Structure 1
Amino acid sequence: MAEIKVIIPAVNEGDSIGKVVTKLPKSVSEIIVVNNGSVDDTAQNAKKAGATVLTEDQRGYGFACLKGLDYLSKQSKPPDIVVFIDGDYSDYPEELDKVVAPILEKNIDFVIGARKKALREPGSMTPQQVFGNQLATFLMRLFFRAKFTDLGPFRAIKYDKLKELEMEDKTYGWTVEMQLKVLKKKMTYIEVPVRYKRRIGVSKVSGTVKGTIFAGIKILGWIFKYSIK
């Protein structure tokens, strides 16, 4: 049986993190919540729900994900698959088995849980999120002939392939960096449609003007950086 581990970056997700952890299926061998500078009860609630809790005080989505990967790299038995999911309960954690299925059944390297419009709760993605996804995936199609339609945070990847990517972005560019490097290294990938609902609490990215602007700059920066290589 494949060893599946989950990394959940979390900032002030005290009201939602327990739901995310407890709804993940039994196929997961370890759930790692990276408490990324929270000032609420995120860490306590994650631990109470059964997660391994790490602390990363440097704020940034990429910082939190890299902390989780550093933890995995020090384990005596590495996982076969790593899944990333947000801690805000906007995704449906119980759909994890559907997201990892192409890896287990078809030997695909990388899977995106794509937030298709028909499966999204109205208002679950802000207009700037929708526009940002459309622009980023359009540019990836234009420059790299990619087939991505989303930068969805719910994603699964073979651990050995993830190590090959040598991820480095510390903040908002983490998701698009991963997808661009998958394309550059000609890894196999697929999207699996997933449901999406309104998050609990306020987004630290799309919920603020600053977050939206910086995320947009980061995403476009990574795409143009790779398009001229």
Structure 2
Amino acid sequence: MVNIKVIIPAFNEADSIASVINELPKTVSETIVVNNNSSDETVKNAESAGATVLTEKRKGYGYACLCGMDYVAKQSKKPDIIVFIDGDYSDYPEELDKIVAPIIENDLDFVVGARKKSLREEGSMTPQQVFGNWLATFLMQLFFRAKFTDLGPFRAIKYEKLKELEMEDKTYGWTVEMQLKILRKKMTYTEVPVRYKKRIGVSKVSGTVKGSIFAGIKILGWIFKYSIK
């Protein structure tokens, strides 16, 4: 039996977190919600839904993911696969089995859920998200001959490979850092088309001008950092 653990960074996702947890397939051995300094009922609702809840008071998507990874690293029985998914219910948690299939069946190292336009609910991604994804993946194709088309947050990776990446970004650059390091280390990867819907609540990144600007700076910073190495 493949041991799959899910890490969900969550900042004020009280209205959506239980739905995300409850719709994950039974193939998941543990769901880890990292409460990233929420001021609402995120913790209570996540615990009621059966998740392990950790708290990371330093705000930042990367901080939350690293907190979840640190928790897993201290467990005696390590997972085979780690899956990351957002807590806003924009992804379809039941598609997790589809995300991990290339790892289990074809021994690939990494899979990203690609939010194809034909599978996206209208309005589920802001114009700045669409443009940012296009620009980032275009530059990765240009500099690294990558085949990525998206920086989607719904992703799966072999646990041992995740440790090799030595992830470090604390905020908005987490997803692109992971993909750049996958390329740098010549790990095997693929994309799986996934559906995407309007999130519950307001995005903390793309929903604000400040968030969009800082995310863009972070993403481009990582790409240019690696392009000149």
What TM-score, normalized by structure 1, do the two folds share? Answer: 1.00
In the other structure, the counterpart of 2:53 is: 53
**Alignment: residue pair count:** 229
Distance 1:42 1:23 in 2: 17
| Structure 1 segments of 4+ aligned residues over 4 angstroms from their partners | none
Aligned to 2:146: 146
| Matched ranges for 1:215-226 at <5 A | 215-226=215-226
Deviations 1:187-207 (A, max 9, x none): 000000000000000000000
Match of 1:64 in 2: 64
RMSD (Å), alpha carbons: 0.2
Structure 1 residue aligned with 2:173: 173
- SS of 1:161's partner is helix
Residue 138 of structure 1, CA deviation: 0.2
- For structure 2, the 5+ residue unaligned runs are none
Q: TM-score, normalised by structure 2?
A: 1.00
Q: What is the DSSP-based 3-state SS (H/G/I as helix, E as strand, rest coil) of the residue aligned with 2:70?
A: helix
CA-to-aligned-CA distance 1:49-83 (integer Å, 9 cap, x gap): 00000000000000000000000000000000000
Quick one: distance in 1 between partners of 2:105 and 2:205?
Answer: 34
Match of 2:196 in 1: 196
Q: Which residue number corresponds to residue 32 of structure 2?
A: 32
Instruction: Give the Cα–Cα distance (whole angstroms) in 2 for the partners of residues 73 and 120 of structure 1.
Output: 35
Aligned ranges 1:129-144 → 2 under 5 Å: 129-144=129-144
Aligned to 1:16: 16
SS in 2 for 1:63: helix
Secondary structure, in 3 states, of the residue corresponding to 2:71? helix
Task: Report the identity percentage.
Answer: 81
Give the AA of the match of 1:165.
L
| Matching residue of 2:116 | 116
**Cα distance in 2 for residues equivalent to 1:210 and 1:127:** 15
Secondary structure of residue in 1 paired with 2:54? strand
Deviations along 1:138-184, one digit per CA (max 9) or x if unpaired, are: 00000000000000000000000000000000000000000000000
Amino acid across the alignment from 2:188: T
